[in-house]
Amino acid sequence: MLSGEVAVLVAGTGGVRSALLHRGRLVQGHAAEVAEQVAAVEAEHRPRWVWWSAGDAARPLVEARVHLARAWDVAEAHRLLHGGFEASPALCWAAVHGLARDSVPAPPGDDLFDLVGAEDLPPDDVLVDARGHLRADHLRWLEDPAHLGAWAEAALTVAHRQLAQAEAVSPRLASTVTSESAAALLCLELERDGLPLDRARTEQLVAEAAGPRTVGDVETTAARRARDETVLRHVPGRESTDLRNPAQVKEMLAAVGVDVPTTRKWVLEAYREVHPVVDALLAWRRDERIATTYGYRWLDAHVGPDDRLRGRWTACDGAAGRMTAENGLHNLPAALRPGVAAHPGHVLVRADLGQVEPRVLAVVSGDTAFAAATRADDLYAPVAQRLGSDRAVAKIAVLAAMYGQRSGAAGEALKGLEAAYPVAMGLLERAAASGRRGEPLRTYGGRLVPTGRFLAARPPGTDPQLDAARGRFARNAVIQGSAAELFKAWAATVRASVRELGASVVLCLHDELLVHVPEEAAAEAVRRVDGSLEAAARRWSGGAPVRFVADTSVVRRWSEAKD
């Protein structure tokens, strides 16, 4: 991995200085100057770029629209190797040097630093302190551009050591690091490019839920009262109920004969017929969600003058390693999806993975019988046949096995599954057992998933309910986390393969991709999105006999797609 051409890019903390280290040559200067050199090195050598983190080093390049193909992101590598989300340079450095994480010195300004700090700092030209850690004040130290060369060398040292550690852990881990590193780069591009909206249509959809835009507190309050009135008119004598206060809502419902333990949606759903206020309340909640979270304030804050919705993206969360996004990019209500639309001259290529989690289970477990079922477009059909049951029962059983669900019909159906696919079910049970013991596990790609994280104060074995929760978490994490790795490998491959079409990935949603494509390139983009899945799945699964499928279509609006 790091045996080929390598270049290092680091950012200073003094203004906008950065540095590029390539073949022993150090170029440093303002980010814009260095960006030019970076582009030249990329064009000529296409190296693997090493940085402490993409957000830190690559952001100016992404903003300057310099495309970089391959990276080793030290922070992402650290998250994979050691689990969790925290991945500061000091922590990454400590981890590859075998130093305990709680021995990492506190930065200046911290109370602890004032106690033990300043006299432990090394001489001004030295990055590493007497105990082998990065100097505690390295952020301030990096304000001096003279230190950027050492900072780049340190990143390279960490990357090489991470590679060695990765290879010792799992044969797939180094490849996962490069894929996750590309995903981190993609996250910066997603932040830069945003999700194209049809602003007028989106405003119209918001208006349908929240009413027209209001000006000033008086009007806003009046609109709010008008929305509340649609519920309160069903409960004469209780018009003063605060609908935003669950306790008051519960009391109001009790007064009309709806006695519920909580006022949650799935509880109230059963009472729609009992009293008209229930239906009105649920409709109000749906509208209130749009009014408060996805209303005009949201539009004004996060949709740019170029009609693109922007938010921060993270390549992996702290649990199993899914991507996350802010500002509604990952939880936009379905009602607003018609507002997500290609801009003039473009279309959206929308692709989502079909039944990705059971297919991932087939790879992770190496269960040949279960893998055979993935040859079908609908894998639940052959599973049902083997179980001698309905498709619906087969589906519930498979999902229950992966999620640890016990309620409903799942329990009975699971028994047949254990007999039919002992290898796959054995893997899930082993994962659950590690979780119950509070032991970490690794995803297929090698990401360490800690399970002791729930209430560290209460160790495994002291609370059966907590142990069961850890077991469910672990059972799910090995699947969800591995699926996230396949997805990111796919997204990174799409990123690379549609670029020359003038297309770009504009949304990643766990098993779904939206690509913004110039109209004339639509058909070719579809081919490349599908081809990328085949290539990414083959690489990720090591050629396992497991089929992955995508439903790929060309649409103007996100809502046009099925489902």
Partner DNA sequence: ATTGCTACGTA
Partner DNA sequence: CGTACGTAGCAATG
Give the binding site for DNA (CB under 7 A): 242, 244-247, 249-250, 262-266, 282, 285-286, 289, 292-293, 297-298, 311, 314, 317-320, 322, 324-328, 330-334, 352, 403-407, 469, 472-473, 476-477, 480, 509-512
CB of 146 to DNA, least distance (A): 36
Nearer to DNA, 45 or 250 (CB): 250
Encoded tokens for 322: 């899914």
Q: What are the C-alpha distances in Å from 480 to residues 331, 381, 387?
A: 18, 22, 25
Q: What is the CA radius of gyration of the chain?
A: 26
Q: Quote the Cα angle for 82-19-26, to 5°.
A: 110
CB of 111 to DNA, least distance (A): 16
- Tell me the HSE value of 285 on the side-chain side, using a 13 A CA sphere: 16
Nearer to DNA, 31 or 506 (CB): 506
Nearer to DNA, 145 or 333 (CB): 333
Tokens 């649609």: give the residue. 230
Nearer to DNA, 153 or 454 (CB): 454
- Tell me the HSE value of 348 on the side-chain side, using a 13 A CA sphere: 27
Nearer to DNA, 65 or 264 (CB): 264
CB of 453 to DNA, least distance (A): 8
CB of 376 to DNA, least distance (A): 20
Cα 23 to chain centroid distance, Å, stands at: 34
**Across-strand partners of 341?**
557
Contact 76, 177 (CB under 8 A): yes
Nearer to DNA, 105 or 404 (CB): 404
Nearest 10 degrees: CA dihedral of 390, 375, 323, 52?
150
Burial 48-84 (b: 16+ CB within 10 A, else e): bbbbbbbbbbbbbbbeeebebebbbbbbbbbbbbbbe
* CB atoms inside a 10 Å sphere around CB 482: 27
Query: Alpha-carbon distance 446 to 246, whole Å?
Result: 43
Nearest 10 degrees: CA dihedral of 221, 223, 225, 229?
180
Contact 340, 195 (CB under 8 A): yes
CB of 104 to DNA, least distance (A): 21
Query: Alpha-carbon distance 87 to 441, whole Å?
Result: 19
CB of 319 to DNA, least distance (A): 4
Contact 83, 447 (CB under 8 A): yes
Encoded tokens for 388: 């001698």
- Tell me the HSE value of 487 on the side-chain side, using a 13 A CA sphere: 29
CB of 456 to DNA, least distance (A): 13
CB of 303 to DNA, least distance (A): 13
Closest CA to 313 of 35, 529, 54: 54
Nearer to DNA, 21 or 514 (CB): 514
CB of 285 to DNA, least distance (A): 4
Nearer to DNA, 113 or 296 (CB): 296
Contact 501, 525 (CB under 8 A): yes
In the DSSP assignment, the letter for residue 106 is P
Nearer to DNA, 119 or 273 (CB): 273
Nearer to DNA, 94 or 325 (CB): 325
CB of 424 to DNA, least distance (A): 17
Q: Residue 335, class by beta-carbon neighbours within 10 Å (0-12 exposed, 13-18 middle, 19+ buried)?
A: middle
Nearer to DNA, 89 or 404 (CB): 404
CB of 274 to DNA, least distance (A): 16
Nearer to DNA, 273 or 562 (CB): 562
Nearer to DNA, 117 or 438 (CB): 438
CB of 283 to DNA, least distance (A): 10
CB of 375 to DNA, least distance (A): 22
Contact 277, 270 (CB under 8 A): no
Closest CA to 67 of 42, 45, 94: 42
